[in-house]
Structure 1
Amino acid sequence: MDISTIETAASAAGIASSYISASGQPVQIAASTRQKILDALQTSPATGESFLPPVCVFRQGELPRILLQKAVPDTCHWRLQPEQGKPLRGTVTHGFLTLPEELPLGYHTLCLLQGRKVIAESRVIMAPTRCYEPEAIRQGKKIWGACVQLYTLRSDENWGIGDFADLKQMLTELAAYGADFIGLNPLHALYPASPDSASPYSPSSRRWLNIIYIAVHKLPDFQLSSAAQLWWQTPQIQQQLQALRDHDQVDYAQVTALKLTGLKLAYHYFATLPDDTPRVTEFEQFRKQQGESLQQQATYDALHVHLKQQDANAWGWPAWPAEYQQWQSPALEQFRKEQAEEIRFYAWLQWLAQGQLQECQQTAREHGMLIGLYRDLAVGVTEGGTETWCDRELYCLKAAVGAPPDILGPLGQNWGLPPMSPQVMIARGYQPFIDLIRANMTHCGALRIDHVMGLLRLWWVPQGDTAVDGAFVSYPVDDLLAILSLESQRQQCMVIGEDLGTVPDEIVAKLRDNGVYSYKVFYFERAPDSGFYSPRDYPAQAMTTLSTHDMPTLYGYWQADDLTLGQQLGLYPDAEVLAGLYADREHAKQRMLDSLHSLHSLPDEYGRQAHGMVMNPILNRGIHYHVAMTNSALLGLQPEDWLNMQAPVNVPGTTHEIYPNWRRKLSCSLHAMFHNPEVTSLLTEIDRRRRQLSY
């Protein structure tokens, strides 16, 4: 294929020919890179030309007019079947098809007919203009809550990892201080067979839950099973559980082994119950409602465990025997028959996890929380997990999502997450995206979308290349935002977009217009003169945080522990870059201190020179009080900062062999934290300040 042909095909496929770098310079994409990405996209079969586009998306108030893709016979007419109600009918005029202006919101089926014969079919989506926003927030209420990595929670009852029972307890405790939400790390399904693959942002599936968070000791079937109770109460198991609780890091291998043992004992009891037992009936209804997707997840988990027992290197389906690498294969069909009970067990675990998550959201609402749970949607799934195993057409396995080079990452980033094909999404009427959003808006009041820029474009890295040799691929952002708005309104779930870093102005405006809330990190909110913006100048349509899971704690930031750790781990290209980062941190700390004093967030007599100043309770409180006055509708704070903790939860660019990512727990139990006068007085004052700003 010559260069001009490549350029034409790549442009038609939405593959950018250039981009603006982090330093503001234009960068050209090589034709060879665009060709490789074209090859990755073209692994999916093209759909034949039809009279109608596969999907048409409109907004409320917009005239739903559809241009036919090719000429049709004069005798053609159309029929629209709304989600509810009787079919609507009309004629085709001058190559256009005009639907009624007052079309109800939802997903409708449009057919083009010649006589009684259907000659084309399309999905019509009518969406609202904005995502859902609680009325209290629309009226000006300023709310706050905690941003929590669920696995970090400690208690006297959990099994060495934070669980849904701990989450319920924390919701109850926080609600008493006026908090309106708990924001969570992604709860996506990971790998029971490979428990050390613990990153919540590298899931097997984004539609299902991580079963490690099930509070086993709270399950009726565990409590009623004499075998489970006998096992659980043995001194050896109790000692093992206590050791796992006491450890400052999550031991995923031991925790998973213990939980699966306890869950198997509970399931053996459940499996003896009569079919008309309410719990059994509810579970079977759940299996039926969730259909093939649940069957796929349960089969993957059961098969993965089975194969890992035979070969420790069977990390995911690309490393499995060839006969198991396809969802539809004779060997897999045989496995499903022989291991039907094991597959049912893993489906049961998903039912349990969904039930306990639902209980947490109910608890939040019962205690008056406006939002309750706030979930997090990761940007993609891993190459060897459930979703890619079952849908090779949707996921482009010859590429991975990442980020272009920037100052801190001169070689760019490759996250190892195969992207969804925008063409296949469109051909399927956006059903994969609808299913994804719907699953993640279940049992919560807000959804944070990681790397929300991915609705507009994603940086694709061809397989085998470095992240430098990538390109941006565009996505149908207006359609995706329309669907997001529709699902948000239906689920009454507000949406927050993680829009950090270099984000094109185009999507910033679209997000705001669609009611998607921005995501502001205090450390980054610096004016052109490098001073810190006043919290009162922050946009109302936003959530503000002090830090994130990828950044240092407040203590770590002030003491520059993240830079010291990065130097020890070899994360910086040279001493000059590191020296510049240290200098910038010193300057930032001074400007932060100036900002704190300007708004009287610190006592007047408190020091005004940041150099040599160490983090202490007064400074910690002052920074918390400062951000509590943000104009943003939502404020999310980390328990690590209430407890003045030092170590981060994740160091980007490292693996858990280099740094124990996604393992570090809180420094004390929930009971101890909420009985600590320093913490409780801090939360009381934060709530007072948020209430003072409201309305």
Structure 2
Amino acid sequence: MVDDSPAPSDALLRLAAAHGVVPDHWGFHGDLRRASADTLCAVLAALGVDASSPERIELALAHVDDMPWRRVVPPTTVVRSGREQLVPVHVTHGDPVHVWLELDVESGGGRRDLTQADVYVEPRTVDGRLVGRATFVVPGDLPLGWHSIHASGPSAAARGVVVVTPDRLELPAELAEGRAWGYMAQLYSVRSRRSWGVGDLADLADLGWLAAHETGADFLLINPLHAAEPVAPLTPSPYLPSTRRFVNPIYVRPEAIAEAAYLSAADRSLVEWAAESVLPLDLEPGPIDRDAAWTAKRTALDVIHAHPRSQPREAQLAAFVEEQGPGLRTFALWCALAEKYGAETIPDELADPSSPAVAAEAQALADRVDFFVWLQWVADEQLAAAQRAAREGGMSIGIMHDLAVGVHPAGADVWSLGDVLARGATVGAPPDMYNQQGQDWSQPPWRPDELARAGYAPYRDMLRTVLRHAGAIRIDHVIGLFRLWWVPEGNSAKDGAYVRYDHEALVGILALEAHRAGAIVIGEDLGTVEPWVRDYLSERGILGTSVLWFESGDDGNPLPPEHYRRLVLATVTTHDLPPSAGYLAGEHVAIRERLGLLTDPVAVVRAQADAERDRMLAALRSRGLLGADPSEREVVEALHRYVMATPSVLIGVALADAVGERRAQNQPGTDQEYPNWKVPLADSVGQVVLVDDLFANARLRSLAAVLDAQR
């Protein structure tokens, strides 16, 4: 048992299963662990289900059985292209009903009447009414897209969403038989002499072009660029954003905005003075100060925003706003409220975006709402410029964006999306080898039922924004499209339960939006993943992830490179580990010991790490990749030669590895104990490395030559 509370009853287990709550999971030591009754009740409560007593459980079970019969048509039906699908339609028993599809305008539009299948289902009494079920056929020849299903009749007037998704997301032609390699970078940490203390989108454009032109890289994977709070203190983690749909304006380069070139002398001086306060930070090796950077940047951006725009520029802004829909102004309104009241202290009377009180604030804050709308437009322009620069430099893929698992519990998405995000539980992970106390990421999860009820529109809109200027997208913790570890409020991270999601819908919609954007999709499928999940993702054309240190054979030795999967992004390391130089030196053990994160004796963990390193060095030597007395640089290059010997279609190289950085960017399981997501890019002696000097770095050029030679 996970704790001392009572074991769940059979009825509670049935109710949990009906809502996708999984009571059992395998621990990292190979033991089967069961959630307690209290944990299951708390998770069900976060799903809007009252399981507080045996009577309530029975009532909830009856409600689950009746719910589909209360709906005329399902709120969302997701089908694969080329496959027929049967859709149930519920009306008063004996009533006629007419059912048809309205096709997506992007797919050419039009209307298709649906035929009824010869399927008999016994009618059911629901809420005192005898309800019959008619079954209609969604044909297999529909175009990809977001269509709508309509039902009309004496007891039917309803509409639902039908999403037709690709059966498989195909790789670009150049990767069908070939491969590509690229860099992985934390953008905020990679600064230039013109940055404002934080790496930005102008730096991204330069980095992408130079990486391709100077070293032959095909892609550049960066951290999530999702928006944080609009006022200090800013949450440093790019994986704990306010929203995943919109972009963090801290990455905007003020001088790169078109209107900045036409400022008056006085206004130009204001921008320059703002920059002067933070430009020296670019050379600081200490923690990145996002608050200082954003405070200075916001002053300059206010000045530029106030400058008149030309008629074409106004039209372009208006077109962007129209394309983004009402969600953009809703987000901008939250930003204005957060700016006025504080992101975590917005008054309770403003908690409902549709309330008269919020409408009054929107009118009073109209200028600030316009400002935050404009920020998204200029960020979008600079993102487009960065992808264009990367491709013009010679990258075959370009910028690879990253999608975080969730959002901040007091952020814009929680405010604006209502019940689509759960209350009373957060996302995390059960204990594993590297985080033996489990993890609580403090992010409210999607509610599967509400997401389907919303036609998956919040998920679709989020994907479309991230994919707008992407050659590829990495899905952090892709297992979250199948199941997530829910930690009830007040519980420790180890006392949670998995909740299952409709992976056919979530993966299918991801494939559809990536297909439309022409982007590759990579799922981060590390950790505890059911074997069938990797097969399913591969079948759908979603690449997986292989990290050298996590790949081992049955004998415990490093997995031979020829045994790696082909359809993966293979790397030596990941942002949740120290760079290779630090990992080889045991920094991942030293950090956890200093911070009290180990549950096993430190001597045992250190011995395990030493044995892991020795096995890796032996594997490198056995393949002739390493001499008897190698330098640190030679070992790091040998590790990358090993990964390049795999059949993997994508090879990622951490920029930190390329310059010899030793410090970890993030230590999972910590908040303030370690400067997570604040470590600027530096070399092996701790000297900051700027974009301006990056591709003259001898260590980087040596590693790049190794990679390009083995492509």
| TM-score scaled by length of structure 2 | 0.89
The match for 1:693 is none
- The alignment status of 1:155 with 2:223, answered yes or no, reads no
Aligned-pair CA distance for 1:71? 6.8
Q: Deviations over 1:4-29 (max 9, x none)?
A: 44333222111112122222221122
Which of 583, 586, 591 is residue 615 of structure 2 equivalent to? 591
The match for 2:122 is none
The match for 2:323 is 289
The match for 1:129 is 167
Aligned-pair CA distance for 1:245? 1.3
* Corresponding letter in the other structure for 2:75: P
Structure 1 residues 239 and 485: alpha-carbon distance in aligned structure 2, compared to 1, 3 A threshold: closer
Which of 610, 620, 625 is residue 636 of structure 2 equivalent to? 620
Partners of 2:208 and 2:549 lie apart in 1 by 27
Partners of 1:22 and 1:252 lie apart in 2 by 37
Partners of 1:463 and 1:616 lie apart in 2 by 45
Q: Is the 8 A contact 1:553 1:645 kept in 2?
A: yes
Partners of 2:68 and 2:251 lie apart in 1 by 41
Aligned-pair CA distance for 1:435? 1.7
Which of 668, 689, 693 is residue 710 of structure 2 equivalent to? 689
The match for 1:651 is 667
Partners of 2:427 and 2:490 lie apart in 1 by 13
Which secondary structure does the structure 1 equivalent of 2:419 belong to? coil
Which of 512, 523, 527 is residue 501 of structure 1 equivalent to? 527
The match for 1:630 is 646
Aligned-pair CA distance for 1:685? 2.5
The match for 2:43 is 37
Aligned-pair CA distance for 1:72? 5.3
Q: Deviations over 1:445-472 (max 9, x none)?
A: 1111111111111111111222222111
Partners of 1:632 and 1:208 lie apart in 2 by 32
Partners of 1:29 and 1:412 lie apart in 2 by 14
Partners of 1:543 and 1:407 lie apart in 2 by 22
Q: Is the 8 A contact 2:91 2:97 kept in 1?
A: no
Structure 1 residues 331 and 114: alpha-carbon distance in aligned structure 2, compared to 1, 3 A threshold: closer
Q: Deviations over 1:542-600 (max 9, x none)?
A: 001111111111110111122112212222235x2x22221112111111112212222
- The alignment status of 1:228 with 2:233, answered yes or no, reads no
Q: Is the 8 A contact 2:427 2:441 kept in 1?
A: yes
- The alignment status of 1:171 with 2:208, answered yes or no, reads yes
Aligned-pair CA distance for 1:432? 2.1
Structure 1 residues 72 and 128: alpha-carbon distance in aligned structure 2, compared to 1, 3 A threshold: farther
Which of 590, 602, 606 is residue 626 of structure 2 equivalent to? 602
Which secondary structure does the structure 2 equivalent of 1:469 belong to? coil
The match for 2:4 is none
Structure 1 residues 580 and 375: alpha-carbon distance in aligned structure 2, compared to 1, 3 A threshold: same
Aligned-pair CA distance for 1:488? 1.8
Aligned-pair CA distance for 1:385? 0.2
* Corresponding letter in the other structure for 2:169: C
Which of 677, 693, 702 is residue 662 of structure 1 equivalent to? 677
* Corresponding letter in the other structure for 1:640: A
The match for 1:346 is 372
Aligned-pair CA distance for 1:58? 1.6
The match for 2:347 is 321
- The alignment status of 1:429 with 2:455, answered yes or no, reads yes
Which secondary structure does the structure 2 equivalent of 1:374 belong to? strand
- The alignment status of 1:579 with 2:603, answered yes or no, reads yes
Aligned-pair CA distance for 1:408? 4.2
The match for 2:238 is 200
The equivalences for 1:506-521 within 5 A come to 506-521=532-547
Structure 1 residues 468 and 624: alpha-carbon distance in aligned structure 2, compared to 1, 3 A threshold: closer
The equivalences for 1:112-127 within 5 A come to 112-114=151-153, 119-127=157-165
The match for 1:240 is 277
Which of 63, 68, 78 is residue 57 of structure 1 equivalent to? 78
Which of 691, 695, 702 is residue 674 of structure 1 equivalent to? 695
The match for 2:55 is none
Per mean C-alpha deviation after superposition, the further-off stretch among 84-93 and 70-79 is 70-79
Partners of 1:493 and 1:233 lie apart in 2 by 38
Per mean C-alpha deviation after superposition, the further-off stretch among 76-85 and 457-466 is 76-85
How many percent identity over aligned positions? 33
Which of 139, 142, 147 is residue 103 of structure 1 equivalent to? 142
Aligned-pair CA distance for 1:154? 1.9
Structure 1 residues 72 and 304: alpha-carbon distance in aligned structure 2, compared to 1, 3 A threshold: same
Partners of 2:454 and 2:309 lie apart in 1 by 41
- The alignment status of 1:219 with 2:236, answered yes or no, reads no
Structure 1 residues 155 and 70: alpha-carbon distance in aligned structure 2, compared to 1, 3 A threshold: same
The equivalences for 1:264-413 within 5 A come to 264-269=302-307, 272-273=308-309, 277-308=311-342, 315-316=343-344, 319-413=345-439
Partners of 1:329 and 1:407 lie apart in 2 by 47
Per mean C-alpha deviation after superposition, the further-off stretch among 61-70 and 5-14 is 61-70
Which secondary structure does the structure 2 equivalent of 1:209 belong to? coil
Partners of 1:31 and 1:205 lie apart in 2 by 33
| Unpaired segments ≥5 residues, structure 1 | 309-314, 608-612, 691-695
Q: Is the 8 A contact 2:228 2:235 kept in 1?
A: yes
Aligned-pair CA distance for 1:55? 1.8
Higher relative contact order, structure no. (Cα contacts within 8 Å, ≥ 6 residues apart): 1
The match for 2:300 is 262
Partners of 1:167 and 1:132 lie apart in 2 by 27
Structure 1 residues 253 and 8: alpha-carbon distance in aligned structure 2, compared to 1, 3 A threshold: same
Partners of 1:7 and 1:653 lie apart in 2 by 30
Which secondary structure does the structure 2 equivalent of 1:205 belong to? coil
- The alignment status of 1:251 with 2:289, answered yes or no, reads yes
- The alignment status of 1:190 with 2:206, answered yes or no, reads no
Structure 1 residues 683 and 82: alpha-carbon distance in aligned structure 2, compared to 1, 3 A threshold: same
Which secondary structure does the structure 2 equivalent of 1:597 belong to? helix
Partners of 2:385 and 2:458 lie apart in 1 by 27
Q: Deviations over 1:524-559 (max 9, x none)?
A: 111121211222321110001111111111110111
Partners of 1:431 and 1:523 lie apart in 2 by 38
Per mean C-alpha deviation after superposition, the further-off stretch among 446-455 and 84-93 is 84-93
Partners of 1:468 and 1:252 lie apart in 2 by 32
| TM-score scaled by length of structure 1 | 0.91
Aligned-pair CA distance for 1:69? 4.9
Partners of 1:455 and 1:47 lie apart in 2 by 23
How many residues end up aligned between the 2 structures? 663
* Corresponding letter in the other structure for 2:36: A
The match for 1:311 is none
Q: Is the 8 A contact 1:195 1:256 kept in 2?
A: no
Which secondary structure does the structure 2 equivalent of 1:362 belong to? helix
Aligned-pair CA distance for 1:681? 3.2
Q: Deviations over 1:386-410 (max 9, x none)?
A: 0101122111111111112234434
Partners of 1:218 and 1:423 lie apart in 2 by 43
Partners of 1:132 and 1:294 lie apart in 2 by 31
The match for 1:10 is 16
Structure 1 residues 509 and 239: alpha-carbon distance in aligned structure 2, compared to 1, 3 A threshold: same
Q: Deviations over 1:228-278 (max 9, x none)?
A: 3212445xx565333211212311111111100110111111xx346xx21
Partners of 2:10 and 2:667 lie apart in 1 by 43
